[in-house]
Amino acid sequence: MYKIVEKDQIAPNTHLVTVEAPLVVHRARPGQFVIVMVDERSERIPYTLSGWNKEDGTITFVFNEVGRSTRKLVDCREGDSIYSVVGPLGVPLETGKVGTVVCAGGCYGIGAIVPAARAFREAGNRVISIIEARTAYLLYMEKENEDACDELIVATGDGSRGMKGFAPEAIRMLLERGEQIDEVVAMGCTFMAKTVSDATRDKQIKTIVSLSPIMVDGTGMCGCCRLDVGGETKFACVDGPFFDGHKVDWGVLSARGAAYFKQERDSIEYSYAGVRR
């Protein structure tokens, strides 16, 4: 069992959790994820690490409530223990020296991008981070992001904070102002990964996106997380989660992501019906 030592709603529908998982910390690297089960009946759900602490053996991740499983985690309280946490999984993000790197984060990626930006900066890159949200009150961890990069751009869909627009608009703005971008890394929902990839395609800027297909084991055993990247089948949990955004077949990703819509709805209805809990 893994104890929740901190849990906080840091923006509407956005929660930060810190869990004791000393063995995960040991080898954690930026961009890696853990798979979590709240209790014995839970699904195995992946979450990207947005931080880890070698001293106290804890890991931190940020998540958005979307369905039954994330709901279960929302219902947990500080001091509760959860059933299973396994990781670090996935190939860590490559954070070598390339020059100027743009790190874009949206949704949970606002938190998850922080270790990536920090690592790029420590490797001697100039790091421009972009955090995006629909509106100002959905932003969080601005300070952590600011500290991790050389320049932080805040973008909101309604312009209520920072520039008006999302990460793709911010990238276009940077290009317009003459910024020489060597690499873009995007972490967030599929839609964001796709729009960011579209924004850099013409200029052929290397664009690495973190993808989040449905997973089960997270160790390459089941093939649930398979994607089509450049005409090849890849398993996101062991070959990814980072892929070249210009090569991803977004149709496959979204179709596979939607495979359980009906059951997901049933599951929520079932849990709200108070049959359990």
Q: Judged by CB under 6 A, which stretch of 131-139, 153-161, 184-192, 209-217 contacts ligand FES?
A: 209-217
- Compute the distance between CA of residue 100 and CA of residue 180 in angstroms, rounded to an integer: 7
254: Cβ–Cβ under 8 A, 6 or more apart, which residues?
Answer: 190
Stretch of 123-131, 152-160, 174-182, 209-217 contacting ligand FAD, by CB under 6 A: 209-217
Q: Could you say whether residue 225 binds ligand FES (CB under 6 A)?
A: yes
Minimal distance, residue 15 CB to ligand FAD, in Å: 8
Residue 234 interacting with ligand FAD (CB under 6 A): no
**In sequence order, what are the beta bridge partners of 2?**
82
Sign of the Cα pseudo-torsion (106, 110, 115, 117, in order)? positive
Stretch that binds ligand FAD, among 1-9, 58-66, 137-145, 169-177 (CB under 6 A): 58-66
We find the least distance from the C-beta atom of residue 208 to another protein, in angstroms, to be 20
Say whether residue 115 binds ligand FAD (CB under 6 A): no
70 binds, among ligand FAD, ligand FES, another protein, none (CB under 5 to 8 A by kind): ligand FAD
> Can you spell out the DSSP letters for 154-202?
EEETTSSSSEES-HHHHHHHHHHTT----EEEEES-HHHHHHHHHHHHT
Does position 228 interact with ligand FES (CB under 6 A)? The reply is no
CB closer to ligand FES, 12 vs 223:
223
